[in-house]
Amino acid sequence: MAFKPANNIQDLQYFGEFGGVNPSISDSSTYTFLSAKTMFDTFEGNAEGCYLYSRHSSPSNLYLGEALAAMEGTETATVTASGMGAITPVLLQLCDAGDHIVSSRTIYGGTYAFLKNFAPRLGINTTFVNITKLDVIEAAITPKTKVLYCETVSNPLLEVADIKGLAQLAKKHQLKLVVDNTFSPLSISPFNLGADVVIHSLTKFINGSSDTVGGVVCGSQELIDDLRNVNCGAAMLLGSTMDSLRSASILKNLRTLHIRMMQHSQNAMYLAEKFESDGLKTVYPGLASHPSHDLFKAMMNKKYGFGGMLTIDVGTLDKANALMELMQEQNLGYLAVSLGFYKTLFSAPGSSTSSEIPEDEQEAMGLSNGLIRFSIGLDADIERTYNMMKICMKKLSIL
């Protein structure tokens, strides 16, 4: 049977302790034991169903983790306090001093900064590559390489990674393929395509209400156990723990993700087609002009579409800033970083979310100053939105 990520979430059944239709929220940082022996066993990870301390695990966090593992098709998952709080422990768990990572060069600025500036302090070095070129990636692999790292759809350039091709490379060279799927939840299921680890910033589409940060690592039981190990687990020891109240609210939002993704994708597709036919330089994986349109199509779970992210290039940063300010004034969205909100969010990545990337490297990867990244909202009437955006663009002589 075909993999059905939204059904996998829907089919889970959790009850609260009084028969509530939502699981009870665990409001405790620590847990009592009737016997000291069980406490010891729990500490050693040998007492199934018992909880010790909420940095280690809590019922609310386990519920959310299970739902996200079901969505991605992995054995299990662990939730974290932020997307970065998921990415950094995974890389530190998989790599020792002296190891090497091959990473896409077009990734979220924070991840880039971690790999470029922080990980080398711990003796972990990274080669950044064009993720759409499998031969270039293979050439960058050395005997010390442990991890291949990419985003399924990259932030902010919307390059698409060939997950199957990368998984074959990873297998051949005995590497772990770690994929950040933040931009394409439900649309693409990287684990199903061969990835070893799937990470999300829950802050974005999955939570969808821009009221919290959060993250998740979806993977094998072995990896998640390693991350949580009290002696040497990076998640456990670095302490990026999600709060139970937050995981309970993210779980509730997760249940409507499939409906929201369909609407985000439908609206983004509409605007991308219009912008492109107006002559704007538009990048959206759903457009036939996108260099990886066919690849995305071959990988996608069709009904969720090509996602809610698109970019246009209006030439200069001044024009980009003027357009974003005007669109905000017209209540067409917010000039804000992040993504996956009900309102459209727009920002100029070169001077915001990717500003960690030096200017010459931005230029080399095609990240121009006039680029505006849109996270398209859930607008009920996208035609009206488009018409109003067009008026803004005309006013600024962009169209």
Q: Tell me the C-alpha to C-alpha distance, in Å, between residue 115 and each of 92, 194, 340.
A: 10, 23, 25
| Token duo for residue 261 | 């993704």
Nearest CB to ligand PLP, comparing residues 178 and 320: 178
Return the residue nearest ligand PLP (CB atom).
Answer: 83
Cβ neighbors of 281 (< 8 A, separation 6 or more) are: 312, 313
Site string for ligand PLP, 349-388 (x = CB under 6 A): ----x-----------------------------------
Residue span binding ligand PLP (CB under 6 A) among the ranges 66-74, 81-89, 262-270, 300-308: 81-89
Nearest CB to ligand PLP, comparing residues 151 and 162: 151
Please tell me whether residue 57 binds ligand PLP under the rule CB under 6 A. no
Please tell me whether residue 340 binds ligand PLP under the rule CB under 6 A. no
Q: Which of 213, 268, 299, 393 binds ligand PLP (CB under 6 A)?
A: 213
Residue span binding ligand PLP (CB under 6 A) among the ranges 32-40, 139-147, 178-186, 251-259: 178-186
Q: Which of 74, 145, 184, 201 binds ligand PLP (CB under 6 A)?
A: 201
8 Å CB contact between 253 and 181? no
Q: Which of 59, 190, 215, 350 binds ligand PLP (CB under 6 A)?
A: 215
Tokens 């600025």, residue located:
109
What ranges make up the beta strands (E) of 107-204?
A: 125-129, 145-151, 176-180, 197-201
Tokens 């509409």, residue located:
270
Please tell me whether residue 91 binds ligand PLP under the rule CB under 6 A. no
Nearest CB to ligand PLP, comparing residues 213 and 314: 213
Please tell me whether residue 159 binds ligand PLP under the rule CB under 6 A. no
Phi, psi (degrees; rounded to nearest 5) at 116: -80, -40
Q: Tell me the C-alpha to C-alpha distance, in Å, between residue 292 and each of 42, 152, 155, 211, 287.
A: 48, 11, 15, 33, 9
Nearest CB to ligand PLP, comparing residues 371 and 392: 371
Tokens 């999955």, residue located:
206
Residues forming a β-bridge with 215: 80, 201
Nearest CB to ligand PLP, comparing residues 186 and 389: 186
Q: Which of 155, 192, 241, 247 binds ligand PLP (CB under 6 A)?
A: 155
What length does the chain have? 399
Q: Which of 9, 52, 84, 129 binds ligand PLP (CB under 6 A)?
A: 84
Least Å distance between CB 380 and ligand PLP?
Answer: 26
Cα–Cα dist 108/75, whole Å? 26
Q: Which of 134, 201, 199 is nearest to 161 (CA)?
A: 134
Please tell me whether residue 106 binds ligand PLP under the rule CB under 6 A. no
Cis peptide before 358 (omega within 30 of 0): no
Residue span binding ligand PLP (CB under 6 A) among the ranges 176-184, 242-250, 263-271, 288-296: 176-184
Nearest CB to ligand PLP, comparing residues 79 and 141: 79
- Class of residue 379 by CB neighbours under 10 A (exposed 0-12, middle 13-18, buried 19+): buried
| Strand ranges of the sheet holding 334-335, from the earlier edge strand across to the other edge | 281-283, 309-313, 371-375, 345-347, 334-335
Nearest CB to ligand PLP, comparing residues 183 and 284: 183
Q: Using CB under 6 A as the criterion, which residues of the chain lie in contact with ligand PLP when the complex forms?
A: 82-84, 108, 110, 151, 155, 180, 182-183, 201, 203, 213, 215, 353
